[in-house]
Amino acid sequence: MFIDKITINVKAGNGGHGAVSFRREKYVAKGGPDGGDGGNGGNVIVRCDDSMNTLLAFRYKRKFAAEHGENGAGAKFHGKNGEDVIIKVPRGTLIKDPESGRIIKDMCDDEDFILCRGGRGGWGNKHFATPTRQIPRFAKNGLPGEEKDVLLELKMIADVGLVGLPSAGKSSLLGAISAARPKVAEYHFTTLEPSLGVVSIGGEAGFVAADIPGLIEGASDGLGLGHDFLRHIERCRMLIQVIDVAGTEGRTPLEDFRVIDEELEKFSPELAGRPRIIAANKADLMVNGVEEFAEIPEVSEEAAELERICDALGYKVIYISAGSRLNLKALIDETARTLETLPPVVTYESEIIEEAVSEDDLSGADAVTIRRGDDASFIVSGEWAEKLAGRVNFSDKESLMYFERSLIRAGIIDRLREAGCEEGDTVNFCGMEFDFIE
């Protein structure tokens, strides 16, 4: 079964909580706080795997979660970091946002991509000791890891796309010019999934060709299999349109050309404008006893009309026979010469830009809640407050100044005053306690 589009859920690990602990050791007076930090949560990492050519592995497993970080412990023991989870996908897989359809990442290179970042571990109470607060009885909780649904969409990476109507000879041609062995039979829709083959042109040089199945009239509207597989030729640098020039299927060569040309234009005008070679297949049925040919001495009226139209469009017509392996070298050589003049395989840029966190980012600050606690303290909580706390290093002076500026700009300080908070009162900010100072 060929699966090239599927939605999965990914979740990075949560950060471990910091520990509240005090050193208790014989003959050691006033040991002080020694709570260790929590471990960081594991990331969700996506990696290309060249042994895969379908998303079938995701059919029964659609949820992937990284390991949570462990909590900190006494004696300044740091919690263990969570293990990353690695998701392997075929090269050419697009990672998209399922709602907007925007591209997050095009998996074309060998670099790993961090899809979801694990939450940072919380600080132990050892970080919160000050000359005026020598016994901090609080620590910082770990931050939650990122979680999202993503759409995986496979668009195969190939230099050349073989397109044509059923039984035109695409699979036979791919098998004749490469080591690929696609299924070949005398009935329509023999090929039910795209096939890739490497075509050698001498030495270590060569190109990758893809056999795209199921194109019929109306494919761009969802008829046949073409609607599912047209996306696989979007990356192709050029096209080889395979045409049954002998008319063995009851179609004229011109009709073969017209149907596919119109479907490509409907699906993507840019794709239809790619360089194209017309492989006039089954030409051996028109000329008997010829082992190799560059041109057909006597062609049918329909084939001659096809040549005139293709010449006007700038498409070269090469007569071949995939079944008899006639004139395939001329087709391969012309394809290689054309590829030398073309840019590399299409890659897609990310359409989602992660916004850098800045002091001016106050979105969500209005949703912060302030309430009185049972011990007369003021409790500040909310998603924006948790994110702010996660960005601040409370042992660093400049970071603390940034924290204070953010509270002032977001109006949290004014809201505390309105709630009755006065100098010296205790403020619990996302689990961390501070003295309110005017």
Q: Which amino acid is at 197?
A: G
Please give the distance of CA 145 from its chain centroid, rounded to a whole number: 19
Contacts of 218 (CB under 8 A, 6+ apart): 224, 263
Mean pLDDT over 77-98 rounds to: 94
How far, in Å, CA of 6 to CA of 25, rounded? 57
Asked whether 409 and 359 are in contact (CB, 8 A), the reply is yes
139 and 210 in one domain? Answer: no
pLDDT tens per residue, range 336-376:
999 999 988 878 788 775 544 444 456 678 888 998 887 77
309 and 253 in one domain? Answer: yes
- Highest mean pLDDT out of 10-14, 125-129, 266-270, 430-434: 10-14
15 and 68 in one domain? Answer: yes
How far, in Å, CA of 332 to CA of 200, rounded? 9
318 and 189 in one domain? Answer: yes
Q: What percent of the chain has pLDDT over 70?
A: 84
220 and 319 in one domain? Answer: yes
3 and 148 in one domain? Answer: yes
130 and 62 in one domain? Answer: yes
How far, in Å, CA of 277 to CA of 310, rounded? 9
299 and 242 in one domain? Answer: yes
36 and 174 in one domain? Answer: no
Contacts of 168 (CB under 8 A, 6+ apart): 242, 243, 244, 249, 256, 281
Mean pLDDT over 11-35 rounds to: 87
Examine the fold and report which residue of 304, 339, 374 is the final residue of a domain before the chain moves on: 339
Sequence-separated contacts (24+) of 134-137 with Cβ below 8 Å: 134/32, 135/22, 135/33, 136/20, 136/33, 136/433, 137/20
3-state secondary structure of 104: strand
Contacts of 301 (CB under 8 A, 6+ apart): none
Mean pLDDT over 145-174 rounds to: 88
Is the predicted pLDDT of residue 382 greater than 70, yes or no? yes
Examine the fold and report which residue of 129, 154, 179 is the final residue of a domain before the chain moves on: 154
pLDDT tens per residue, range 261-308:
888 888 788 888 899 999 998 887 765 545 555 555 466 777 788 889
Q: Is the pTM of this model over 0.85?
A: no
Asked whether 18 and 141 are in contact (CB, 8 A), the reply is yes
Where residue 304 falls (left for φ over 0; alpha for ψ -120 to 50; beta otherwise) is: alpha
Residue 7's domain is classified under what CATH number?
2.70.210.12
Burial degree of 13 (CB within 10 A; 0-12, 13-18, 19+): buried
Contacts of 53 (CB under 8 A, 6+ apart): 90, 156, 196
Task: Tell whether 356 is covered by a domain.
Answer: no
For 432, the token pair is 């961390």
Residue 176's domain is classified under what CATH number?
3.40.50.300
Tell me what pLDDT residue 62 has: 93
Q: What phi and psi values does residue 433 have, to the nearest 5 degrees?
A: -100, 140
Examine the fold and report which residue of 290, 321, 339 is the final residue of a domain before the chain moves on: 339
Q: Which amino acid is at 202?
A: G
Task: Tell whether 242 is covered by a domain.
Answer: yes
Task: Tell whether 344 is covered by a domain.
Answer: no
How far, in Å, CA of 41 to CA of 364, rounded? 24
Number of folded domains in the chain? 3
Instruction: For residue 368, give Cα distances in angstroms to 362, 363, 373, 381.
Output: 11, 11, 15, 6
User: Which domain covers residue 233, as residue numbers?
Assistant: 160-339
212 and 188 in one domain? Answer: yes
Task: Tell whether 360 is covered by a domain.
Answer: no
Per the prediction, the chain carries an average pLDDT of 82
How far, in Å, CA of 153 to CA of 134, rounded? 56
